[in-house]
């Protein structure tokens, strides 16, 4: 299915695109099973015979790009995730000696439990922020690719967007692996665990866990900082595509509702 928003909003009828025999321009006529209006969007059925060509159908896809403030959403979620990581780190520092009273001190065990829960929540939050970001780049990249093909735009816009998308992958993978490693070091730092890395690293397991937590938090902050500017760059590319689409549609006498 190909959907186009911003055309003939709030209209209850169904429409189809048909070239005018007098002027040669495209007109939208009602009462057709070829195209139907669903929630204010024109839905073109590809499995039905249509009087409009594939080129004319593609001309309707001019508002598929997500219209939401991604920079603000990402910044809010990234700040929350980093605050959660910092809270988990500080809670770990306040645990004290886990072997107090032979490891049966209820206060210490309570702090350990809270630290583990907040740590798992921090790991989940960081992963979700990076997953959301990559999904955003996948969605906008696909939109830029299809819109550029439909309107014959320069492939440089799509290439630039793809470069931004793949540029965030190393940071995402490295941060995730570090966060996962921090959790593993935390499990090893538990005195009840039979495994120990102190003989290989020369540091205590608790110090290794703390060092990994500090390093992961700093790396995640740096990666989020660079990701924010990549989002800004991708937004500029989207605006450039929308500007070109608006110019082309105005030249062809087509509607530009929703293009600003």
Helix/strand/coil for 46: coil
Overall average pLDDT of the 87-108 stretch: 87
**Distance between CA atoms of residues 227 and 164, nearest Å:** 9
Lowest mean pLDDT among 57-61, 93-97, 219-223: 57-61
Give CA torsion, residues 90, 92, 94, 100, to 10 deg: 180
- Do 45 and 94 belong to one domain? no
Residue 238 lies in a domain: yes
Helix 205-251 vs helix 155-167: angle between axes, to the nearest 10 degrees?
Answer: 170
**Distance between CA atoms of residues 84 and 100, nearest Å:** 27
Residue 139 lies in a domain: yes
pLDDT in tens, 167-195: 999 999 999 999 999 999 999 988 888 88
SS3 track for 170-236: HHHHHHHHHHHHHHHHHHHHCCCCCCCCHHHHCCCHHHHHHHHHHHHHHHHHHHHHHHHHHHHHHHH
- Do 27 and 130 belong to one domain? no
- Do 24 and 92 belong to one domain? no
Q: If pLDDT is split at 50, 70 and 90, which confidence band does 44 have?
A: very low
* 164 has pLDDT over 50: yes
Q: How many domains, the chain?
A: 2
- Do 32 and 118 belong to one domain? no
Structural domain boundaries, residue 37? 2-58
Helix/strand/coil for 115: helix
Overall average pLDDT of the 83-104 stretch: 88
- Residue 59's pLDDT is 40
């Amino acid at each position: 299915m190909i959907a186009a928003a911003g055309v003939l909003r709030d209209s209850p009828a169904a429409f189809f695109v048909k070239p005018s025999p007098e002027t040669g321009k495209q007109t939208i006529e009602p009462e057709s099973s070829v195209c139907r209006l669903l929630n204010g969007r024109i839905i073109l059925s590809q499995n039905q015979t249509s009087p409009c060509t594939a080129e004319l159908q593609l001309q309707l896809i001019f508002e598929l790009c997500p219209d939401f403030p991604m920079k603000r959403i990402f910044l809010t979620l990234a700040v929350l995730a980093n605050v959660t990581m910092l809270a988990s780190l500080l809670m770990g520092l306040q645990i004290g000696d886990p072997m107090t009273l032979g490891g049966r001190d209820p206060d210490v065990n309570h702090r350990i439990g809270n630290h583990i829960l907040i740590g798992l929540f921090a790991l989940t939050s960081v992963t979700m922020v990076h997953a959301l970001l990559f999904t955003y780049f996948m969605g906008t990249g696909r939109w830029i690719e299809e819109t550029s093909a439909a309107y014959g735009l320069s492939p440089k816009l799509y290439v630039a967007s793809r470069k931004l998308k793949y540029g965030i992958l190393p940071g995402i993978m490295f941060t995730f692996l570090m966060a996962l490693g921090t959790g593993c070091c935390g499990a090893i730092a538990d005195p009840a665990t039979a495994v120990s890395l102190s003989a290989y690293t020369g540091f205590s397991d608790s110090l290794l866990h703390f060092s990994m937590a500090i390093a992961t938090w700093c790396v995640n902050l740096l990666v989020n900082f660079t990701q924010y500017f990549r989002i800004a760059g991708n937004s500029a590319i989207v605006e450039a595509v929308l500007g070109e689409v608006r110019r082309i549609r105005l030249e062809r006498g087509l509607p530009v509702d929703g293009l600003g």
